């Protein structure tokens, strides 16, 4: 039996990162500081009367833009008094549809800066949309928001532009005229840069995520992300003893890990974890499914103290048909390789007990916990007197006759839940007719617990009984995302790049895939969570089942072919995997 080598964690290498790796330095960015004067406060209801903008780079002004704008409506008197812009001043000025192209060209390639940016940018975006201009995807910096994060009430009573201009002693006094206010905002921006620079903010990415609430010790750990690639995969936070504290996954390892050292991370437990962590390891994965599965397996292996979900798969609750002369239902926390029938897993013991009660309603098997020999001689309990148990304890029913009830029970667990559903439906109808609605609700909850678990079991069985499934999906760049799934376990994953033969790549992937031997029980080869991940991926649009148990089902290349997936509603669990039906989802996207 061969298996692929274990994943190798990405080492921290002693190389000097490039500027692209570290982020975009603030001194290399061209900022366009803009300010507007308007007739009111709401885009669409008011118009722009003046635009002023200053283009600055590395502390030097490299251009200015200023124009009055005819708003197409009278300027309210109080606005005219506030700004000094009157109706005669804008009567001969151009309309906004003529001004916008010039401004957008002036600001092209810049980072937009404004004081109370949602107001100014909101007007510009609205008018661009109305007049049919494409609004560029500007990065926006709001000096008012940034000031609120670094200026204390002792320094300034508020963060208005006039107040900040006095604090930073700007060379231009803001006076509610667009260009003057933009010039003052430039000085305020540089003053704020000096403040945040001493706190370790040196790049645009740092500025966008800066918050004074982030402790300096946490912010100082951003270098832990620098060795990680911009690639999908799994990351592991570890402490100084090498203990794994937290495991997560991401489509971009570096960006995701960097976010843990910014204000965007607000979870108290994770903040505590980041304070303890001394290193971050990364494992690159070829596909998103591989990353999800690896995360699940690593959490189960290391049981990190700061992960909440999937840490203890062995603590899940299952219902089991015991292996003894007179079997019964038993609540267990572990699936074993035996011939007992299983149902689960359940999210809680209470849910499992509800499903057990539903099964006891349909099948009169014994509920006592004592072990019985093949020839028992015991006194029947009250359940036998009520007709809810066939009472094998008194020796009147043979093990073979009792076995028929058990066989029907196992069938309900794995293949046909109809007897349980019918029995509970009849009971609910009787209770409802007698207006015993609370008792009917109890039986309804029991039925719901059983049906949900039974449906999940049959979904898992549709995959775990297949020795091998090879599935593919187109990538955005024209390649193929390939997976080899053996008995519900992800055995191999990879990407066939555009221009290569995906069939040949799949053959190599199968040859190097993990060997998964058949086992006994519903989850002998993979955890229920992993099987659920595989099923969800197979159910996504665009998935092609290329091979199943050695039988070719669908080509990888070519247009107009049908996509296929496993359909539980159509799959006959009594038939071997090669005879199961597949439901077409529709024509494939052209190559």
Highest-scoring range by mean pLDDT, 99-108, 279-288, 493-502: 99-108
Closest CA to 276 of 221, 321, 231: 221
Which of the four pLDDT bands, split at 50, 70 and 90, describes residue 7?
very low
Of 4-8, 152-156, 177-181, give the lowest mean pLDDT range.
4-8
Residue 310 pLDDT greater than 70, yes or no: no
In 10 A of CB 519, how many CB atoms? 14
- Which DSSP helix (H) or strand (E) runs through 494? strand 489-496
The alpha carbon of residue 540 and the mean position of all alpha carbons in its chain are separated, in whole angstroms, by 15
Residue 462 pLDDT greater than 60, yes or no: yes
Task: Report pLDDT for 181.
Answer: 95
Give ∠ CA 481-483-488 in degrees, rounded to 5: 150
Which of the four pLDDT bands, split at 50, 70 and 90, describes residue 317?
confident
Task: Report pLDDT for 208.
Answer: 74
Task: Report pLDDT for 558.
Answer: 42
Query: Domain coordinates of the chain in residue numbers?
Result: 26-201, 212-311, 338-462, 465-587
The alpha carbon of residue 559 and the mean position of all alpha carbons in its chain are separated, in whole angstroms, by 31
Distance from C-alpha of 469 to C-alpha of 463, rounded to nearest angstrom: 8
Stretch 313-334: mean pLDDT, rounded?
80
Chain segment 333-344, per-residue pLDDT in tens: 877 766 667 887
Task: Report pLDDT for 245.
Answer: 92
Token reading at 337: 């390789």
Distance from C-alpha of 67 to C-alpha of 356, rounded to nearest angstrom: 77
Placement of tokens 């570290």 in the chain: 22
Which of the four pLDDT bands, split at 50, 70 and 90, describes residue 152?
confident
Task: Report pLDDT for 550.
Answer: 63
Token reading at 478: 């024209």
In 10 A of CB 204, how many CB atoms? 18
Closest CA to 354 of 346, 363, 366, 364: 346
Closest CA to 115 of 87, 134, 75, 143: 143
Distance from C-alpha of 30 to C-alpha of 111, rounded to nearest angstrom: 6
Task: Report pLDDT for 15.
Answer: 38
Placement of tokens 């499992």 in the chain: 352
Task: Report pLDDT for 55.
Answer: 96
Counting every residue written for the chain, the total comes to 591
Q: Which CATH code fits 212-311?
A: 3.40.1440.10
More confident residue, 196 or 57: 57
Placement of tokens 């019918």 in the chain: 422
Residue 542 pLDDT greater than 90, yes or no: no
In 10 A of CB 180, how many CB atoms? 16
Relative to beta strand 111-114, strand 30-38 is parallel
Stretch 126-146: mean pLDDT, rounded?
92
Of 57-66, 72-81, 125-134, 253-262, give the lowest mean pLDDT range.
253-262
Distance from C-alpha of 370 to C-alpha of 458, rounded to nearest angstrom: 31
The residues carrying an active-site annotation are 176
Q: What is the DSSP letter of 394?
A: G
Closest CA to 116 of 163, 32, 177, 185: 185
Distance from C-alpha of 542 to C-alpha of 211, rounded to nearest angstrom: 42
Task: Report pLDDT for 562.
Answer: 36
Which of the four pLDDT bands, split at 50, 70 and 90, describes residue 365?
confident
Of 5-19, 83-97, 348-362, 385-399, give the lowest mean pLDDT range.
5-19
Asked if residue 471 lies in contact with residue 289, where contact means CB atoms within 8 angstroms, the answer is: no
Chain segment 190-220, per-residue pLDDT in tens: 999 988 877 667 778 777 766 555 666 676 7
Chain segment 11-36, per-residue pLDDT in tens: 433 334 433 344 688 889 999 999 99
More confident residue, 315 or 73: 73
Task: Report pLDDT for 579.
Answer: 31
Asked if residue 583 lies in contact with residue 512, where contact means CB atoms within 8 angstroms, the answer is: no
Q: What is the DSSP track for 444-468?
A: HHHHHHHHHHHHHHHHHHHHHT-S-
Give ∠ CA 513-519-522 in degrees, rounded to 5: 105
Q: For 67-202, where are the alpha helices, taking DSSP H only?
A: 77-83, 87-90, 96-107, 117-130, 143-150, 161-168, 178-197
Question: What percentage of the chain exceeds 70 in pLDDT?
Answer: 80
For residue 59, report the phi and psi dihedrals to the nearest 5 degrees.
85, 0
Q: What is the DSSP track for 70-102?
A: B-SSPPPHHHHHHH---HHHHTTSPBHHHHHHH
Distance from C-alpha of 450 to C-alpha of 444, rounded to nearest angstrom: 10
Stretch 263-287: mean pLDDT, rounded?
82
Residue 85 pLDDT greater than 90, yes or no: yes
Asked if residue 392 lies in contact with residue 372, where contact means CB atoms within 8 angstroms, the answer is: yes
Residue 576 pLDDT greater than 70, yes or no: no
Task: Report pLDDT for 516.
Answer: 84
Distance from C-alpha of 43 to C-alpha of 72, rounded to nearest angstrom: 14
More confident residue, 377 or 455: 455
Task: Report pLDDT for 391.
Answer: 67
Which of the four pLDDT bands, split at 50, 70 and 90, describes residue 519?
low
Token reading at 125: 């975006």
Stretch 73-79: mean pLDDT, rounded?
92
As assigned by CATH, the class of the 26-201 domain is: alpha beta
Distance from C-alpha of 131 to C-alpha of 118, rounded to nearest angstrom: 20
Asked if residue 575 lies in contact with residue 555, where contact means CB atoms within 8 angstroms, the answer is: no
Q: What is the DSSP track for 249-280?
A: EESSHHHHHHHTTSTT---HHHHHHHHH--EE
For residue 296, report the phi and psi dihedrals to the nearest 5 degrees.
-60, -45
Closest CA to 179 of 51, 40, 56: 51
| Neighbour order of strands in the sheet with 48-57 | 60-68, 48-57, 30-38, 111-114, 140-142
Residue 48 pLDDT greater than 90, yes or no: yes
Task: Report pLDDT for 591.
Answer: 28
Task: Return the CA Rg of the chain.
Answer: 34
Stretch 429-454: mean pLDDT, rounded?
90
Task: Report pLDDT for 522.
Answer: 60
Stretch 270-279: mean pLDDT, rounded?
86
Asked if residue 191 lies in contact with residue 63, where contact means CB atoms within 8 angstroms, the answer is: no
Stretch 222-233: mean pLDDT, rounded?
85
Placement of tokens 């290399």 in the chain: 28
Stretch 277-301: mean pLDDT, rounded?
91
Stretch 34-62: mean pLDDT, rounded?
93
**487: helix, coil or strand?**
coil
């Amino acid at each position: 039996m061969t298996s692929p080598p274990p994943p190798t964690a990405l080492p921290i290498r002693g190389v000097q990162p490039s500027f692209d790796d570290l982020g975009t330095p603030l001194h290399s960015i061209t900022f366009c500081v803009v300010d507007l004067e308007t007739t009111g406060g709401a885009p669409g209801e008011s118009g722009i009367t003046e635009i002023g903008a200053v283009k600055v780079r590395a502390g030097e002004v490299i251009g200015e833009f200023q124009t009055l704008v005819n708003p197409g409506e009278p300027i309210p008197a109080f606005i005219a008094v506030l700004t000094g812009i009157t109706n005669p001043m804008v009567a001969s000025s151009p309309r906004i549809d003529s001004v916008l192209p010039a401004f957008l060209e002036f600001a092209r390639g810049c980072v937009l800066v404004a004081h109370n940016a949602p107001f100014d940018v909101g007007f510009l975006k609205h008018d661009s949309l109305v007049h049919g201009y494409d609004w560029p995807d500007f990065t926006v910096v709001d000096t008012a928001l940034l000031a609120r994060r670094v200026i204390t009430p002792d320094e300034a009573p508020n963060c208005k532009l006039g107040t900040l201009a006095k604090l930073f002693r700007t060379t231009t006094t803001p006076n509610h005229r667009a260009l003057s206010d933009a010039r003052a905002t430039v000085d305020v921006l540089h003053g704020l840069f000096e403040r945040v620079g001493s706190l370790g903010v040196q790049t645009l990415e740092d500025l966008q995520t800066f918050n004074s609430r982030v402790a300096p010790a946490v912010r100082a750990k951003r270098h832990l992300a620098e060795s990680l690639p911009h690639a999908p995969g799994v990351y592991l936070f570890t402490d100084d003893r090498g203990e794994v504290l937290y495991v997560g996954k991401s489509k971009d390892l570096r960006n995701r890990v960097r976010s843990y050292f910014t204000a965007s991370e607000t979870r108290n437990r994770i903040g505590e974890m980041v304070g303890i962590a001394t290193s971050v390891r990364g494992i690159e994965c070829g596909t998103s499914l591989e990353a999800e599965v690896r995360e699940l397996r690593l959490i189960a292996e290391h049981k990190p103290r700061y992960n909440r979900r999937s840490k203890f798969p062995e603590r899940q609750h299952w219902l089991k048909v015991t292996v003894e002369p007179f079997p019964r239902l038993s609540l267990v926390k572990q699936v074993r390789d035996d011939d007992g029938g299983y149902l689960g897993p359940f999210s809680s013991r209470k849910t499992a007990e509800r499903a057990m009660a539903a099964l006891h309603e349909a099948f009169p098997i014994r509920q006592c916990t004592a072990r019985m020999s093949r020839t028992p001689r015991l006194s029947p309990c009250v359940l036998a007197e009520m007709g809810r148990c066939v009472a094998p304890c008194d020796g009147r029913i043979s093990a073979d006759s009792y076995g028929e009830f058990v066989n029907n029970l196992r069938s309900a667990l794995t293949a046909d839940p109809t007897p349980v559903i019918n029995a509970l439906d009849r009971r609910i109808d009787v209770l409802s007719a007698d207006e015993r609605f609370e008792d009917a609700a109890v039986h309804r909850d029991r039925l719901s617990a059983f049906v949900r678990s039974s449906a999940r079991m049959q979904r898992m069985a549709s995959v775990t009984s297949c020795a091998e499934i090879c599935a593919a999906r187109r990538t955005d760049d024209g390649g193929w995302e390939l997976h080899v799934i053996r008995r519900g376990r992800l055995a191999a994953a990879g990407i066939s790049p555009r221009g290569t033969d995906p069939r040949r790549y799949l053959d190599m992937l199968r040859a190097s895939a993990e060997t998964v031997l058949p086992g006994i029980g519903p989850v002998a080869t993979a955890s229920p969570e992993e099987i659920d991940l595989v099923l969800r991926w197979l159910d996504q649009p665009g998935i092609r089942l290329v091979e199943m148990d050695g039988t070719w089902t669908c080509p990888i290349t070519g247009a107009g072919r049908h996509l296929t997936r496993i359909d539980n509603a159509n799959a006959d669990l009594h038939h071997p995997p090669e005879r199961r039906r597949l439901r077409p989802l529709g024509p494939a996207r052209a190559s």
